[in-house]
Amino acid sequence: MRFTKAQATGNDFVMVSDREAQIELSPKDVSRLCDRHLGVGADGVIRAVPAHKSTPGQVALTEAELTSTDEIPLWFMDYRNGDGSEAEMCGNGVRAFAHYLEAENHIELAEGESIPVLTRAGLRTVRKVEEGYAVGMGVWSFIDPEMASESASDSLVRATGLTDPRPALSISMGNPHTVVALPDEATLEKLDLHYAPIVDPTPPHGTNVEFVVPADPLVENNQGRVQMRVHERGVGETLSCGTGTCAAAAAVRVWAGADAVDTWTVTVPGGEVTVRFTARTDGAEDVELAGPAVLVYSGDISLKQ
């Protein structure tokens, strides 16, 4: 099987092109491909397949999706976590996906142009920009709106390296996230994320956990700044999580209150991304995630090992 290894702020993926929808990847195949000793090594696998030839499962097909044809396919991003599980969305993955589709000559994008991409969380858009790609991530929401509006936290998180449980806020970016604020960088560095943090109560479908340290001062040049580490559902610690950076910026913005700005720089171990919020007329907020994507190398691998 032909593949390309890609990374977006250090979140790495095995990319596979499946124009005729002929590749079946079992959870075991995926975890084998992602194994850093026995396979290619990555946080996840992304299969590019035309929407009209695939069965994205829980995605409800809209009119736009049904316009997908052999000549002009709408591309479905079939994302799987390193443990073989499916996830609704992957923000870094969408940037890597767009770059890969271009390299495979499946799409052409000039700077400023955008295309729709189908994910398990629904349609997303990706635009080519100077620093790489900007993904229209849709709106963010509280996972438990009642709890969140009462106290700006809805759970407690315990993690190896933290002396006490810390309050946290769970946010959906299509997939679930739980954001925990830490007092300083030393506490962030001390965390041992080889062990999964314990979230109480855990959101119904599990969660990705983001540990954040808001900068001091929080806002400079009208831009908020946050540092983050993440433990991803179905993967473990990764160098970056795009949906996680959006959830982290959304949570810190809630905690910052009325003064909060709309543009945020989130620094992760693998680099830096920009998260922008735009208010809709109904009060919800659209999120955009911008950052780089890199294709590292291509190769062939047999799934029968």
The answer to whether 99 contacts ligand LBFN2T5F (rule: CB under 6 A) is no
Interface pick for ligand LBFN2T5F out of 39, 73, 93, 132 (rule CB under 6 A): 93
From 179-187, 228-236, 258-266, 294-302, span contacting ligand LBFN2T5F (CB under 6 A):
228-236
> In this structure, are residues 43 and 238 in contact, taking their beta carbons and an 8 Å threshold?
yes
Given 65, 232, 237, 288, the residue binding ligand LBFN2T5F (CB under 6 A): 232
Cβ(10)–Cβ(240) below 8 Å:
yes
Stretch that binds ligand LBFN2T5F, among 91-99, 104-112, 277-285, 297-305 (CB under 6 A): 91-99
Cβ of residue 111: shortest distance to ligand LBFN2T5F, in angstroms? 23
4 binds ligand LBFN2T5F (CB under 6 A): no
**Interaction between residue 120 and ligand LBFN2T5F (CB under 6 A):** no
User: What is the total residue count of the chain?
Assistant: 305
**Cis? peptide before 204, omega within 30° of 0:** no
Distance CA 193, CA 203 (A): 19
| Residue 241 a catalytic site member | yes
Rounded CA separation 265/296 (Å): 25
Nearest distance in Å: CB 4, ligand LBFN2T5F? 17
Alpha carbons 82 and 96: distance in angstroms, whole number: 16
Closest to 82 measured CA to CA, from 48, 120, 36, 42:
42
Q: Which of 135, 241, 254, 287 binds ligand LBFN2T5F (CB under 6 A)?
A: 241
Cα distances (Å, whole numbers) of residue 60 to 64, 66, 227, 293? 11, 10, 35, 28
Binding-residue total with ligand LBFN2T5F (CB under 6 A):
18
66: how many CB neighbours lie within 10 A of its CB? 11
CB 4 within 8 A of CB 15: yes
Q: Is-catalytic flag, 34?
A: no
Q: Please, what is the minimum distance in Å from the beta carbon of residue 178 to ligand LBFN2T5F? A: 11
Residues that bind ligand LBFN2T5F (CB under 6 A): 11, 81, 87, 90-93, 175, 208, 232-235, 238, 241-244
Please give the positions annotated as active site.
90, 241
